[in-house]
Structure 1
Amino acid sequence: MPITRRRFLGSFAGLAAAIGVPSLWMTYMKTYDGPVSDHFDGLHFFDPDGAPPKSLGEVLRWQFGGGRKRAAWPDWAPSPHADTPPPRVAGDKVRLSFVGHASWLIQTAGLNILIDPVWSERVSPIGFAGPKRHNDPGIAFDKLPDIDVVLVSHGHYDHLDIATLSKLTASFSPRVITPLGNDVTMRENDSAIRAEGFDWNDRVELGNGVAVTLVATRHWSARGLFDRNKALWASFVLETPAGKIYIVCDSGYGEGKHFRRVAEAHGPLRLAILPIGAYEPRWFMRDQHMNPEDAVKALADCGAQTALAHHHGTFQLTDEAIDAPVQALAEALKGADVPPERFVALKPGQVVEV
């Protein structure tokens, strides 16, 4: 297939979303400035138990090398579900509504919390190319209840969506809790966003007995040409009246150390939210994105009672088919002798109550 200008731009816009490939059209952005630590060298963040991002040569080999097998997704794959959440959920119940990709609404203890909210049509640094939605958000934006808190895991475009954050700020002015450096990105784009940056292992009180701890995850971050790993990435452990929820928005598996450490430091876990998509080709994605088999191992490592799958079926970031992650999850659960009801993949608009 010839490399047309539109295909080239679309490919790199998609990469910026999926794996944070620096976009050549982005200008220099202000980044985090703070003290050196065991995962920050004064300029870049790093994971002592992780892996560096792929080189530009490897990116080009994946995108334009011979033998690539990219599955075709349907233009539109609507979910049969749509949720209209209640204004609040009180008591010791937790209500989780799957918005799509890595976006969730979690309602508990009178608080409404959004995870990696993306309501935009594309997850891309440019508006006319890059990954486009294949289904609507499971909750229409005008059906959202008042949002109190937003948790943003890292800076890749399919997780940190400035347009959505600005719209949420204008409508609800929520607190936005995010790893170090992403708060700088948000405020540089919209000074009204109430962004607060935190480090790994920081615990943040959200109110009404609910708190969140940012924990290390096997990933990385970038949005522009000059900011690779200049902002931190994290998973979340959310403390609720119904127990702790481990929210992993993006992660590779590696040797499973990150998941076992969460079990040791924060267990027991009532629920884990684990990514199962954006994993092919495996030679390229293995270090930063889990496949379903990895996710089943991560569930065993973290020890959560049950799990919900996400990061699949909405934006085509990588090469697998739209339904491949859900099918592979069923096979991985069977192979590991894990009951299918212990690890469930929802469609946008579906709801689970704990």
Structure 2
Amino acid sequence: MNRRKFLKWSSLGVLATLAGGTFASRSLAANRYYDGPVSDHFDGRHFFNPGGEEPNGFFDLLRWQLGGGRAAWPLDWPSPFPPAVPEARIAGDRLVVTMAGHAALLIQTAGLNILTDPVWSERASPLAFAGPKRVNPPGIRLADLPKIDVVLVTHNHYDHLDLATLKVLAQRDGCRIVAPLGNDRIIMPAVGKAQVTVMDWGGAVALADGVVLHCEPCHHWSARGLGDRRMALWSAFLIETPGGNIYHVGDTGFHKGINYRAVREKHGAIRLANLPFGAYEPRWFMRPQHQNPQEAVEGMLACGAAHVAGHHWGTFRLTNEGIDEPLAALEASLDTVGIARERFRALRPGEVFEVPAAKA
């Protein structure tokens, strides 16, 4: 096989893992990451979305990849914001969110520095030479990151779980890494003696006085390569703080808004929701795993979020839509339902969002 064909098929395999297809639709082997009891979302071998949809298979992936309709992306799309240099700590009820890129957000409040889905690598891929490549540098230089207390990893796709970045953070800061069930088997061999906590949906752990982390459902799936589809859990997180609730969703299909309504019913008012709104076309393929901008706005309403930090757009080309199409569609959706655009901020790398205080 010549290099061009090898790169093409290598990239296809990466896309299969990131976007919903895989070369092995079901694994016949035992679960390599988790061996816990059967539950309403674990059948003894695979995790699943209750009442939901499974990800598409390899032939659907080929149909998508060969079907055309893929908008061109620029090789470079610099952010209008310079690299941020965050404050060392933010105390009290202040809440500041800084966009590093894609789903990597620095959340600072109550004296804690919390980093979500950190990816500082050049590619969201298991390969150094193929797979989605970033079109803008991280909005915070690693050297400028303050000491990180907690890293939240929502699931194991390469655009959310970057072992190289986790290793640097763990060695530098000794931070606590929190992820859904099974992901410790992926993280710990790569990062060494890191403190890794795994959680099931419905679980809760204290992060500090008055700060509690809750693991909540989202409609997604997982895989790192061939034969491990849905063997590690995926999740959203809700951070309960004295200054208000923060809801972080890494990836999700809308799933009729079920999980959004459930988190509102369980936790009440949400000061800030971090919601994905990119990587959604074509809808027939992406709908079960990635919500589109209209659905993200519906999710904002369903969970009752006062403000939203929008992410998962404009850094890695994963799907068919153009690089700025999510922003145009988001603004149109906000205007249609009468939500002020400043309440749903489509963040760019380096952008700093000082979230208004929760209303009493």
The TM-score normalised by the length of structure 1 is 0.94
The runs of 5 or more residues in structure 2 that have no matched partner are 356-360
| Alignment check: 8 A CA contact 1:16 1:124 kept | no
Shift of residue 20, structure 1, vs aligned partner: 6.7
The 10-residue stretch of structure 1 (264-273 or 7-16) with the greater mean CA deviation from structure 2: 7-16
| Alignment check: 8 A CA contact 1:269 1:303 kept | yes
Shift of residue 151, structure 1, vs aligned partner: 0.4
- For 1:228 and 1:193, how far apart are their aligned partners in 2? 25
Find the counterpart in structure 1 of residue 87 from structure 2.
86
1:223-280 CA-partner distances (Å, limit 9, x unpaired):
1212111100000111122200111110001211111001100111111111000001
Find the counterpart in structure 2 of residue 318 from structure 1.
319
Percent of aligned positions that are identical: 51
**Amino acid in structure 2 at the alignment position of 1:220:** W
- Distance change in 2, residues 1:20/1:97 (3 Å): farther
The runs of 5 or more residues in structure 1 that have no matched partner are none
**Amino acid in structure 2 at the alignment position of 1:137:** P
Find the counterpart in structure 1 of residue 162 from structure 2.
161
- For 1:131 and 1:18, how far apart are their aligned partners in 2? 11
- For 2:256 and 2:286, how far apart are their aligned partners in 1? 15
- Distance change in 2, residues 1:292/1:166 (3 Å): same
User: Is residue 2:103 matched to residue 1:102?
Assistant: yes
Shift of residue 4, structure 1, vs aligned partner: 3.0
Find the counterpart in structure 1 of residue 333 from structure 2.
332
The 10-residue stretch of structure 1 (11-20 or 104-113) with the greater mean CA deviation from structure 2: 11-20
2:52 alignment partner, one of 33, 50, 53: 50
**Amino acid in structure 2 at the alignment position of 1:74:** P
| Alignment check: 8 A CA contact 1:123 1:158 kept | yes
| Alignment check: 8 A CA contact 1:30 1:188 kept | no
User: Is residue 2:204 matched to residue 1:209?
Assistant: no
**Amino acid in structure 1 at the alignment position of 2:256:** E
Find the counterpart in structure 2 of residue 281 from structure 1.
282
Find the counterpart in structure 2 of residue 121 from structure 1.
122
The TM-score normalised by the length of structure 2 is 0.93
**Amino acid in structure 1 at the alignment position of 2:72:** A
User: Is residue 2:73 matched to residue 1:73?
Assistant: yes
Shift of residue 201, structure 1, vs aligned partner: 0.9
Find the counterpart in structure 2 of residue 261 from structure 1.
262
- Distance change in 2, residues 1:88/1:20 (3 Å): farther
1:89-110 CA-partner distances (Å, limit 9, x unpaired):
1111111101110000111111
| Alignment check: 8 A CA contact 1:77 1:135 kept | yes
User: Is residue 2:352 matched to residue 1:351?
Assistant: yes
- For 1:256 and 1:304, how far apart are their aligned partners in 2? 13
**Amino acid in structure 2 at the alignment position of 1:70:** R
The 10-residue stretch of structure 1 (77-86 or 187-196) with the greater mean CA deviation from structure 2: 187-196
- For 2:23 and 2:284, how far apart are their aligned partners in 1? 20
Find the counterpart in structure 1 of residue 131 from structure 2.
130
- Distance change in 2, residues 1:242/1:53 (3 Å): same
Find the counterpart in structure 1 of residue 358 from structure 2.
none
**Amino acid in structure 2 at the alignment position of 1:108:** T
- For 1:98 and 1:162, how far apart are their aligned partners in 2? 20
| Alignment check: 8 A CA contact 1:16 1:23 kept | no
Equivalent residue pairs, number: 347
**Amino acid in structure 2 at the alignment position of 1:124:** S
| Alignment check: 8 A CA contact 1:237 1:246 kept | yes
Shift of residue 5, structure 1, vs aligned partner: 2.9
Shift of residue 84, structure 1, vs aligned partner: 0.1
- For 1:339 and 1:134, how far apart are their aligned partners in 2? 29
- For 1:185 and 1:352, how far apart are their aligned partners in 2? 32
Find the counterpart in structure 2 of residue 30 from structure 1.
32
**Amino acid in structure 2 at the alignment position of 1:32:** Y
| Alignment check: 8 A CA contact 1:30 1:185 kept | no
**Amino acid in structure 1 at the alignment position of 2:33:** T
- For 1:195 and 1:20, how far apart are their aligned partners in 2? 29
